Amino acid sequence: MTTALLFPGQGSQTPEMRDTVAQVRPDLLAMAIEVVGEDPFARVDDGTRFAQPAIFCASLAGFAALDDSVRADARFTAGHSLGELGALVAAGVLAERDGLELVALRGALMQEAGETAGNGGMIALLGADAAQRADEVARPHGLSIANDNSPQQVVLSGLSSALPGAEQTAKELGLRAMILPVTGAFHSPLMASAVPAFEQALARVEIHEPQLTVLSAVTAEPFDDVRARLAEALTGPVRWRELLLALHARGVQRFVEVGPGKVLTGLVKRTLKDVELVNV
């Protein structure tokens, strides 16, 4: 059965994920502590600086624990936001150390950009028509679509002062809206200050030929220019719903979430029918 491996993004952390990494990939845990400067799992709730490398390591531990038969059927891989770096490592495009260093830097830059600006936020739209009506909520309030997660879930990003108005507009359109407890407007132009340093780091890493086809959440197509797409992802939307549809159109019938939690499994369930879902 044609299989796609899915690597989750921020918000998928679980209490037991550190123990899993310590058991399955103790070398990776040691590397994370070295790269971050302290144990990122101990401060996973203190922002993207720690959450992103912790989730990255937990996802690679899940990948390492995959059954051989699942690996043999895997033809595609993809990641949600920071999960793209895990997907690229799994496909052999990035070396593991390079991937971890990029994730740690990415998390730190995004947290710094959000805290420095101090005026960014995000709001989730929920409901049967969320994907169809998201633009009607975003445009009048100057917000950007940050995560097009499923037909029933879209996250908008922008100035925090615009969020209450967007919340009211969403309710008038019959959608549920929830302002998220985050410190920045992730995946929006307000993250632009994080891009230059990340581009410099990307320029220093070696890009290898993929062993699996990796789809970009920026384009919903196979990665073309890895460095450009990863940099673009900081300020551009995560087109996850479109990516899932693209994988399904390429014959994928089984989706395996290798990281902690079941966030992506839930999004696949809400987007596609008659597919097999596996959570490691």
Which residues are identified as catalytic? 81, 187
CB neighbour list of residue 98: distance below 8 Å, 6 or more residues apart: 205, 206
- Any idea what the Cα angle at residue 98 is, between residues 97 and 104, rounded to 5°? 90
Q: Which of 105, 145, 104 is nearest to 123 (CA)?
A: 145
Four-point Cα dihedral 86, 92, 97, 101, nearest 10: -50
Spatial separation of the C-alpha atoms in residues 181 and 197, rounded to whole Å: 26
- Residue 110 has, within 13 A of its CA and on its CB side, a CA count of 29
Please report the sign of the dihedral spanned by the C-alpha atoms of residue 261, residue 263, residue 268, residue 274: positive
DSSP string, 101-147: HHHHHHHHHHHHHHHHH--EEEEEEESTTHHHHHHHHHGGGT-EEEE
Is residue 6 a contact partner of residue 78, using CB atoms and an 8 Å limit? yes
How deeply is 176 buried, as exposed, middle or buried, from its count of CB atoms within 10 A (0-12, 13-18, 19+)?
middle
Spatial separation of the C-alpha atoms in residues 147 and 238, rounded to whole Å: 5
